Amino acid sequence: MKNKPLILVTNDDGISAPGIRKLIEVMKEIGEVVVVAPDSPQSGKGHAITLDATLYVKKVKTASPKDLEFECSGTPADCVKLGIKEVLKRKPDLCVSGINHGSNASINVIYSGTMSAAIEAGIEGVPSIGFSLLDYDWEANFDGLEPFVKKIALQVLAEGLPDGVVLNVNFPKQTETPYKGIKVVRQARANWNEKFDKRVNPMGKEYYWLTGVFENLDGGKDTDEYVLENNFVSVVPVQFDLTAHQFIETLSTWDL
């Protein structure tokens, strides 16, 4: 009998977040699961890594002694690095990150700790997927996502992914209307119109809260934002080579 696939599970909301608990539950139906996730919320950390502090990894007590769950003091990218290099006895067959509480569609992928964890695994040559639900509530409803998560994960295990590519999967916020299906699309051109809410603390020191309004600048119907608005699950293949290949020839003609 063929060995079960080894699956590394991580996230950016922290090891106790409901989203990762649901993802662990689904992955246990597929393979052997090892969890390495932050010991506290790390949302918006992007691809940050820890260079100026020590890192700690501690096994978590769970209901079953067979569970292999570890909490890490670092960022999501740190979790993946430590998971692959130190915790696991061999390279995993798959890395899944999430399920994130909130959108990682369009421009959000740049800031996302969830997707950065998946990308870090991709850099290490591990087929990887980031999963996110467009619901920021800690008590968000993740029921109903299972068949989609399982289907996509199994397909990646069966087919693999191209070198340098990971998948960014986003689910619309759940309503009484079932999802219409899955759409493979591109990342929408969008941005955050940001501002800083300036305040003064009781000691007279100024401080700031970042606020902003999300703006979809893309009118295309082949984007993640469009299909999510129309109750489809979006799947975007993301590459971590940031080279603007189409501009190389033009840039080469400049007098540099």
In this structure, are residues 11 and 97 in contact, taking their beta carbons and an 8 Å threshold? yes
pTM: 0.93
Segments making up each domain of the chain, as ranges: 6-192+220-251
CA distance 57 to 65: 18
Predicted pLDDT of residue 217:
87
Predicted pLDDT of residue 3:
83
CA distance 182 to 169: 9
Burial class (CB in 10 A: 0-12, 13-18, 19+), 130: buried
CA distance 220 to 215: 14
Q: Encode the chain (256 residues) as per-residue pLDDT tens digits.
A: 368 999 999 999 999 999 999 999 999 999 999 999 999 988 888 999 999 999 999 999 888 888 999 999 999 999 999 999 999 999 999 999 999 999 999 999 999 999 999 999 999 999 999 999 999 999 999 999 999 999 999 999 999 999 999 999 999 999 989 999 999 999 999 998 899 999 999 999 999 999 888 888 888 999 999 999 999 999 999 999 999 999 999 999 999 9
Q: Cα(first)–Cα(last) distance of the chain, in Å?
A: 60
Predicted pLDDT of residue 1:
37
3-class DSSP state of 169? strand
Predicted pLDDT of residue 2:
62
What is the CATH number that goes with domain 6-192+220-251?
3.40.1210.10
Please name the helix (run of DSSP H) or strand (run of DSSP E) that holds residue 57, with its range, or none.
strand 57-59
